């Protein structure tokens, strides 16, 4: 069984941080950031809640899809930056949008979130014939978890939200999801502050570095880069093989938007021209779970991705996680 993305919506906060803005708090420059990452600017949520951004995106997606929110059977919110440890972002948004008949839960697969979320939605629709629509939301307020003294990390990320109303269909669809927890320490942020002296006691030592600013995102950029350039091609190949198609059947690849050099390397490995890759990281940065759907929705709005085209959504992220979907839009 395949799916149809009936309607999508995006929301990014108004505030924009350019590369030049970063020179006010870290030793960096526009040229370094552009050439090493491809990023020029990104949106910042400030204290705008992540659930609020997600709700705005959800409202837009529902309006585009032209459906009644009461017909949504499940709300899946993909996020690693929920405002609360509990309740879930999905429950807050479910109430805000009047999805009164929906189950609701959050899904954390970091930057692979949208791929995992869409695939989870498809499984709900496949196994519950009474369910008409699934709503997959992504919303990230990453700036709240950023160490703005770590120039190798803070320049990479941005904030934003998306949503997609999904229904079942018989169109082409195949997915391939995976994880490698042995790389968990390459990219992480603690959810609670733990006193360092307690955390490092042997029985509590989880092996993750302990810093004063413990809830900040900590990454080994080089290790993530190495993982990413292999994860993107294999996420595609895994999904394509299951569907019995090849790269030549794909009209557009929508990759996770972390670093344009990662995308270029993946394109080269796959033997696909960069013209077939949607790139929006120059103006959004890496928005984690929102990165693939922000790019997808923009390409749809611009008329680049059209109905009937075959697309590949390919992601990787903290966890480590990776995932690919090939589908007809
Ligand atoms: N401005 C200026 N210089 C910077 C800088 C910045 N913002 N960040 C790092 N540097 C410096 C480093 O300190 C280093 O200086 P040194 O040679 O004097 O030690 C130099 O630039 C090179 O650093 P390096 O880490 O080798 O750069 P890089 O080419 O590997 O790029 C990343 C760094 C983080 C951009 C790159 O590794 C990357 O994109 N990794 C993947 C991260 C990612 O995608 N994370 C999210 C995954 S979902």
CB 109 within 8 A of CB 47: no
What pLDDT score does 198 carry?
59
Helix 291-301, helix 113-127: angle, nearest 10: 80
What pLDDT score does 193 carry?
62
Q: Averaged in consecutive runs of 10 residues, what is the pLDDT profile of the chain (329 residues)?
A: 97 98 95 98 95 98 98 98 96 98 98 98 97 98 93 97 98 98 93 62 66 78 97 98 98 98 98 98 98 98 98 98 98
Name the phi and psi angles at 277, rounded to 5: -105, 130
CB 81 within 8 A of CB 144: yes
What pLDDT score does 243 carry?
97
CB 215 within 8 A of CB 193: yes
pTM greater than 0.85 (yes/no):
yes
Q: How many CB atoms lie within 10 A of CB 180?
A: 14
What pLDDT score does 210 carry?
65
Q: In 28-39, which positions are buried (b, 16+ CB within 10 angstroms) versus exposed (e)? A: beeeebeebbbb
CA of 212 to the centre of ligand 1 (A): 22
Clarify whether 91 is annotated catalytic.
Answer: no
If one residue of 32, 221, 284 were mutated to test the ligand 1 pocket, choosing by the most ligand atoms within 8 A of its CB, it would be 221
Q: How many CA atoms lie within 13 A of 261 on its CB side?
A: 11
The residues, ordered by sequence, that sit 6+ positions from 263 with a Cβ below 8 Å of its Cβ are 232, 255, 257, 274, 277, 279
CA 82 to chain centre: 13
Give kind and range of the element (H or E) at residue 160. strand 160-169
CB 64 within 8 A of CB 35: no
What pLDDT score does 208 carry?
77
Q: Whose CA is nearest to atom 39 of ligand 1?
A: 259
For the CA of 224, the nearest atom of ligand 1: 41
What pLDDT score does 207 carry?
72
Measuring CA to CA, which residue among 168, 214, 158, 174 is closest to residue 191?
214
Q: Whose CA is nearest to atom 48 of ligand 1?
A: 317
Ligand 1 close to Cβ of residue 258 (< 6 A): yes
* Residue 24 buriedness (CB in 10 A; 0-12 / 13-18 / 19+): exposed
What pLDDT score does 11 carry?
98
Ligand 1 close to Cβ of residue 23 (< 6 A): no
What pLDDT score does 203 carry?
61
Beta strand 310-317 with 252-255: parallel, antiparallel or unpaired?
parallel
What pLDDT score does 4 carry?
98
Q: Whose CA is nearest to atom 32 of ligand 1?
A: 221
Q: Whose CA is nearest to atom 3 of ligand 1?
A: 28
CA of 32 to the centre of ligand 1 (A): 9
CB 9 within 8 A of CB 63: yes
Cα–Cα distance, 277 to 312 (Å, whole number): 10
């Amino acid at each position: 069984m395949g799916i149809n993305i009936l309607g999508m919506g995006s929301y990014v906060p108004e505030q924009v941080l350019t590369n030049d803005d970063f020179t006010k708090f870290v030793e960096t420059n526009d040229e370094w950031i552009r050439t090493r990452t491809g990023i020029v600017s990104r949106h910042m949520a400030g204290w705008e809640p992540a659930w609020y951004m997600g709700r705005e995106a959800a409202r837009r997606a529902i309006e585009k899809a032209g459906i009644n929110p009461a017909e949504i059977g499940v709300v899946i919110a993909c996020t690693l930056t929920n405002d609360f440890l509990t309740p879930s972002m999905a429950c807050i948004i479910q109430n805000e949008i009047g999805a009164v008949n929906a189950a609701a839960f959050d899904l954390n697969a970091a930057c692979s979130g949208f791929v995992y979320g869409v695939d989870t939605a498809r499984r709900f629709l496949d196994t519950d014939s009474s369910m008409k629509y699934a709503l997959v939301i992504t919303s990230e307020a990453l700036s709240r978890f950023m160490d703005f003294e770590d120039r190798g990390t803070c320049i990479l990320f941005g904030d934003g939200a998306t949503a997609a109303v999904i229904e079942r269909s018989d169109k082409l669809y195949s997915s391939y999801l995976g994880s490698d927890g042995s790389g968990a320490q390459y990219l992480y942020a603690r959810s609670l502050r733990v006193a360092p002296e307690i955390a490092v006691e042997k029985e509590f030592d989880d092996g993750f570095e302990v810093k004063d600013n413990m809830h900040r995102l900590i990454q080994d950029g080089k290790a993530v880069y190495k993982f990413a350039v292999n994860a993107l091609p294999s996420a595609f190949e895994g999904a394509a093989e299951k569907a019995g198609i090849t790269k030549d059947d794909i009209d557009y690849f929508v990759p996770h938007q972390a670093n344009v050099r990662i995308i270029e390397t993946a394109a080269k490995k796959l033997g696909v021209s960069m013209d077939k890759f949607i790139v929006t990281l120059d103006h959004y940065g890496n928005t984690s779970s929102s990165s693939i759907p922000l790019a997808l929705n923009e390409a749809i709005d611009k008329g680049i991705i059209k109905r009937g085209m075959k697309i590949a959504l390919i992601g990787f992220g903290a966890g480590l996680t990776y995932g690919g979907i090939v589908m007809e839009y």
